[in-house]
Amino acid sequence: MMEETDNKYHQLSSVNGQTISSSLEGNESIELSHIVNENDNNSDSGISPNDSEVETLISNRNQKTGLSTVFDDEEEKWYIVGSEVFLPFMIAGCGMVAAGLVLERVKELNVFKEITEIYILVPALLGLKGNLEMTLASRLSTQANIGNMDKKSELQSMIFGNIILTQLQAIIVGFLAAIVSLAMGWVPQGHFNIRHALVLCSSSVSTASIASLALGGIMILVIVGSHKCKINPDNIATPIAASLGDLTTLTILASIGGFLFKIIDNYTWLPIMITIIFLILTPIWIVISYRNDYVRDVLIHGWSPVIAAMFISSAGGLILDFAVQTLRGVAVFQPVMNGVGGNLVAVQASRLSTALHQHGKPGEFKDRAHYYASKICPNPYKVFLSNKNNSSTTRVLLFMSIPGHLTFVFIIWKLAVNHPRISILFVFLYLIAAFIQVAILLYIAQWMVAYTWRHERDPDNVCIPYLTAIGDLLGTALLTCVFLLLPSSI
């Protein structure tokens, strides 16, 4: 029987096994929803009203949440998003500029000159901020926005579980990234250096673990603080992760790598012991993570995006290895080019994921439009030029990249050691490359989040690693093309 309390209703229907929900006011007419059997042979061609049954489930519309601090993506205006994102974005960009300046300096260290495979490792380690810290930020931002951070006991369990999980992921991905970089360097060179392998493995694992612990702690403080201040953490957490991630990771890698390279001849056992200790810790972290309800699902199902993203970033590392050794000046721009794109697309992916979480569980859609959008590649016009709120946010993030990159290029020009001569042609080509990179990433994000949701996977755990890794590959490739198109290196 239908209750008329507050005249507010919530309609749920199922399409091809996916739940579609739509909210209705009491004065609105209820359009009956169709349910199509998941085993229907014609399900791929669309939904046929003739072969469907009708099921209408009515419940209170306010079931979604009763929290005043929850941010609804459909209600948040584009200028609010822009104002909240801009300052963290610029701070993040300055962090990336600093990382580029550090990379330009550390490439003169002996460890970077002797172990050239380290350039293949750099994008994979820098990509950990997208694989781990940005994913952590997106995951916790969603929990904050749906009200799961209001109980102290739940918050403590959530924080502890996520810290342990990111440590586990950092150790495993750091070790695998070192193995992949060694393999990619060994195949063309034709010889294997055990000393270089020990330095690379121990440096990679320890850098990944230390950076992940530091950045994860900062992310938790930022998200909990912004939640208490009633600021949407989706808009600020991932840019802050980006601002600190590259600089912190590069500094730790250069320090540990340089130290181990100096003492490897006299203390060969030290890098071996470092690697073994971290690997011994992994089963302990696995047991602790499995016992935590908030991260158990990520522990079981969250490895493929992280590992696949590491391989994609390592492919970008091959390009970087070539570029650094043949093109003067490219290293200082690499963290900025890659970081800005990954930063902006992480904000968008986190917002899209939160919007879906606010209306149900993975696999549930609030209307047919969202469901059909997950089955096909979205129309570029609707992604970038429609009047929908998501499209407005996409435009804000896309065009934010232009003044951001101009500012960052100017800062690099002033602070770079060799004071590169930046021509109008270079700036023009650089901005085109950056615009193309961000546009492609934002378009992919619009499809990937919905696609992941339709397959009952949490986009917070899946999308950002892929998107930031694709951003690294695209950014490094496009930046290399820019330098190759110039009459001479800057």
Q: Which two tokens stand for residue 356?
A: 């879906």
Domain assignment of residue 35, yes or no: no
Does a structural domain hold residue 11? no
Q: How many CA atoms are closer than 13 Å to the CA of 2, on its beta-carbon side?
A: 12
Q: Which of 88-97, 118-127, 410-419, 477-486 has the lowest mean pLDDT?
A: 410-419
Cα torsion 385, 391, 396, 401 to 10°: value is -80
C-alpha 423/C-alpha 421 separation (Å) is 6
Q: 382 and 316 in one domain?
A: no
Higher pLDDT pick, 124 / 256: 256
Indicate whether 452 belongs to any domain. Answer: yes
Say whether both 116 and 177 belong to one domain: yes
Note down the domain range covering 391.
75-102+328-489
413, pLDDT greater than 80: yes
pLDDT in tens, 124-147: 887 776 667 777 777 787 777 777
Asked if residue 270 belongs to a domain, the reply is yes
Residue among 376, 382, 434 nearest 404 (CA): 434
- 27 — pLDDT class (breaks 50, 70, 90): very low
Last residue of a domain, one of 302, 326, 350: 326
Final residue before a domain boundary, out of 285, 301, 326: 326
> For the residues 293-319, what does the mean pLDDT come to?
85
Strand-pairing partners, residue 15, are: 18, 36
Quick one: which of 111, 266, 135 has its CA closest to 193? Answer: 111
Whether 44 shows a pLDDT value over 80: the answer reads no
pLDDT confidence band for 431 (50 / 70 / 90): very high
Would the pTM count as exceeding 0.75?
A: no
| Whether residue 268 is found in the same domain as residue 289 | yes
Together in a domain, 282 and 382: no
Can you give the chain as a three-state secondary structure string? CCCCHHHEEEEEEEECCEEEEEEEECCCCCCCCEEECCCCCCHHHCCCHHHCEECCEEECHHHCCCCCCCCCCCCCCHHHHHHHHHHHHHHHHHHHHHHHHHHHHHCCCHHHHHCCCHHHHHHHHHCHHHHHHHHHHHHHHHHHHCCCCCCHHHHHHHHHHHHHHHHHHHHHHHHHHHHHHHHHHHHHHCCCCHHHHHHHHHHHHHHHHHHHHHHHHHHHHHHHHHHHCCCCHHHHHHHHHHHHHHHHHHHHHHHHHHHHHHHCCCCCHHHHHHHHHHHHHHHHHHHHHHCCCCCHHHHHHCHHHHHHHHHHHHHHHHHHHHHHHHCCCHHHHHHHHHHHHHHHHHHHHHHHHHHHHCCCCCCEECCHHHHHHCCCCCCHHHHHCCCCHHHHHHHHHHHHHHHHHHHHHHHHHHHCCCCCCCCHHHHHHHHHHHHHHHHHHHHHHHHHHHHHHHCCCCHHHHHHHHHHHHHHHHHHHHHHHHHHHCCCCC
Q: Backbone dihedral region of 450: left (phi > 0), alpha (psi from -120 to 50 degrees) or beta?
A: alpha
In a domain, 344, yes or no: yes
Do 302 and 403 fall within a single domain? no
Same domain, 80 and 115: no
CA dist 380 and 447 (Å) reads 11
Total of domains in the chain: 2
Check which CATH number belongs to the domain holding 431 and give it.
1.10.357.20
What are 13's strand-pairing partners? 20
In a domain, residue 39? The reply is: no
First-to-last C-alpha distance (Å) of the chain:
74
Across residues 85-106, what is the average pLDDT?
83
Q: pLDDT tens-digit profile of 349-385?
A: 888 887 787 777 777 776 666 666 666 777 777 778 7
Are 316 and 212 contained in the same domain?
Answer: yes
Dihedral of alpha carbons 451, 456, 460, 465, sign: negative
69 located within any domain:
no
Whether residue 290 is found in the same domain as residue 360: no
Statement to judge: residues 298 and 386 lie in one domain: no
pLDDT of residue 102: 86
Whether residues 183 and 303 share a domain: the answer is yes
Asked which of 11-15, 180-184, 368-372 is least confident by mean pLDDT, the reply is 11-15
Q: Decide if 64 is inside a domain.
A: no
364 with 281, same domain: the answer is: no
Instruction: Based on the fold, state whether residues 347 and 221 are members of the same structural domain.
Output: no
Residue 76 has a pLDDT of: 61
CA dist 240 and 231 (Å) reads 14
Q: What is the CATH number of the domain that holds 305?
A: 1.10.357
Tokens coding 376: 């096909």
The phi, psi pair for 64, rounded to 5°, reads: -55, -50
Mark which of 272, 295, 326 sits at the end of a domain. Answer: 326
